[in-house]
Amino acid sequence: MRLSRYFLPVLKENPSEAQIVSHRYMLRAGMIKQQAAGIYSWLPLGFKVLKRIEQIVHEEQIRAGHIPLLMPTLQPADLWRESGRYDDYGEEMLRITDRHKRDMLYGPTNEEMITDIFRSHVSSYKDLPLTLYHIQWKFRDEIRPRFGVMRGREFLMKDGYNFDLDYESAIHAYNRHMVSYLRTYERMGLQAIPMRAASGPIGGDNTHEFLVLASTGESEVFYDAAITDLKFGDRVVNYDDRAECEAIVKEWTAPYARTDETHDEAIFAQIPEERRRSSRGIEVGQIFYFGTKYSEPMGATVVTAGGNRVPVHMGSHGIGVSRLLGAIIEASHDDKGIIWPEGVTPFHAGIVNLKQGDSSTDLACEALYRDLSARGLEPLYDDRDERAGAKFATMDLIGLPWRITVGPRGIAAGKVELTNRRTGESEEMSSGAAVDRLAQIYAGI
């Protein structure tokens, strides 16, 4: 993409309404525009990152054997009356009456609807286990939406639902989700710690939240510092192997890590003092096992091998896709702007032409643009007739992880400058070597 043809409405000044770093930088980098309290339009740069995150979530869900579908944003209230949650959910639910006087709602979550889909089409234990998921917009009418996409009213979320014959099978689904989430977050350059949490209005006894440590987090968390040394890495997992998934879950849940709702000071005190930590955390996902909470009242049953009809065991598993943009920025930025991890960056590299209109630099930039594109990379070429300082400031603000700077002096010596946004380190090399280096970096992403 050429910046002269792109829609990137960057702001030079910090917006007065932005209280935290991620909100400030998302507005300044032209990623979002507020349309109403807690409701945003996603502008091209923000939308590209959103789609990168969504794609990683899809890939890891499918890798774990989960099946995508798509449910609507509007739901009939009668399904929620069946489960008993319609009157219990509270004022966060946006209730709507259509022209036929039927009660509807803008879905805050989808347990009832997915249970209705399941009971309409599945009746035998032979069709289990089954895990269905979708990525869809949700709405919760927060009383005080704030912090940009971190605490908005409309948000994009992946929510998945498992259906299993018994408790043991459902716990395997729970473990499978935890493993897939650990892979998902690491691919985004995040360390998201699974912490024992409270279930809230979803219900159920087993639940973990995934939290990214950040001073602006809404949750107080307590943990053993040993958990921050764990890395999932490139290990290959057989998601059908119950023992393997359980072992990974035990590895990640053995160190103490809890939100303030479930914190136990007596257990925490048993950790060596030098490893005890308290901090703030941003929730970016949560997994639940809730047994037959929805299947019993809604009649989601299957016939067993013995001919008995039993309610299925269920769980739900969510990732805040739009919320993750804010969390990544909170965890990865400096005083100049965003620093995107390679896995989610909107463009793989920026090309800065220091002397637009100079034939040698123009030709070199065009060749870089063409060669990077031919290697499957997507560069952002700043071809504007702007001074170098403004171009560098824009690149720093929008946070592309790599920048190639092209100037007359370097071209005369057969060199361009490759700069790492995170470290600030620069290296001079030939254009071909810069392209090869970036292709190698992104080959493993």
Alpha-carbon 311 to chain mean position: 32
Is the pLDDT score of 431 beyond 50?
A: yes
Burial class (CB in 10 A: 0-12, 13-18, 19+), 382: buried
Nearest to 316 by CA among 165, 241, 208: 208
CA distances from 39 to 107, 319, 327, 368, 397 (A): 15, 19, 17, 39, 23
Q: Is the pLDDT of residue 39 over 80?
A: yes
Strands 74-76 and 103-106: antiparallel
Instruction: Tell whether the model's pLDDT for residue 18 goes beyond 70.
Output: yes
**Per-residue model confidence (pLDDT) at position 202:** 47
- Length of the chain in terms of residues written: 445
pLDDT for the residue 279: 93
Query: Positive or negative, the Cα torsion across 117, 119, 120, 126?
Result: positive
* HSE, side-chain direction, 13 A CA sphere, residue 324: 36
Query: At 326, which amino acid appears?
Result: G
Non-local CB neighbours of 101 within 8 Å, separated by 6+ positions: none
CA pair distance 88, 91, nearest whole angstrom: 9
Rounded to whole angstroms, how far apart are CA atoms 53 and 58? Answer: 9
Per-residue pLDDT tens over the stretch 188-212:
999 999 998 876 554 445 889 999 9
Q: What is the rounded average pLDDT for all residues in the chain?
A: 94
* Residue-level pLDDT at 144: 84
Tell me phi and psi for residue 118, to 5 degrees.
-60, -50
The answer to whether the beta carbons of residues 293 and 225 sit under 8 Å apart is no
Neighbours of 360 (CB within 10 A): 14
What's the confidence (pLDDT) of residue 344?
97
Tell me what pLDDT residue 296 has. Answer: 93
Residue 338, pLDDT > 70, answer yes
pLDDT tens sequence across 274-292 = 999 999 999 999 999 989 9
Mean pLDDT of 54-61: 97
Which pLDDT band holds residue 143 (cuts at 50, 70, 90)? confident
Could you give the CA distance from residue 225 to residue 305 in angstroms, rounded to a whole number?
A: 47
Q: CA–CA separation, 427 vs 442, rounded Å?
A: 18
Structure tokens at 430: 């030939």
Element (H, E) at 421: none
Residue 199's pLDDT is: 60
The answer to whether 198 touches 258, Cβ cutoff 8 Å, is: no
Of the pLDDT bands very low, low, confident and very high (cuts 50, 70, 90), residue 88 is confident
pLDDT grade, residue 154 (50/70/90)? very high
Tell me what the mean pLDDT of segment 320-327 comes to: 96
Is the Cβ–Cβ distance between 104 and 80 less than 8 Å? no
Mean pLDDT of 227-247: 95
Tokens of 169: 């099978």
- Indicate the SS3 state at residue 284: strand
What share of the chain has pLDDT > 70, as a percent? 98
Q: Could you tell me the pLDDT band of residue 142, with boundaries at 50, 70 and 90?
A: confident
Residue 329 clears pLDDT 90, i.e. is over it: yes
Which residues on adjacent β-strands are paired with residue 404?
Answer: 351, 418
Q: What is the pTM of this model?
A: 0.94
Among the residue ranges 26-30, 86-90, 316-320, 381-385, the one predicted with the least confidence is: 86-90
The pLDDT of residue 395 is above 80: yes
Rounded to whole angstroms, the Cα distance separating 425 from 429 reads 13
Per the model's pLDDT, the better-predicted residue between 1 and 199 turns out to be 1
Residue 30 in contact with residue 9, Cβ under 8 Å?
A: yes
CA dist 59 and 259 (Å) reads 29
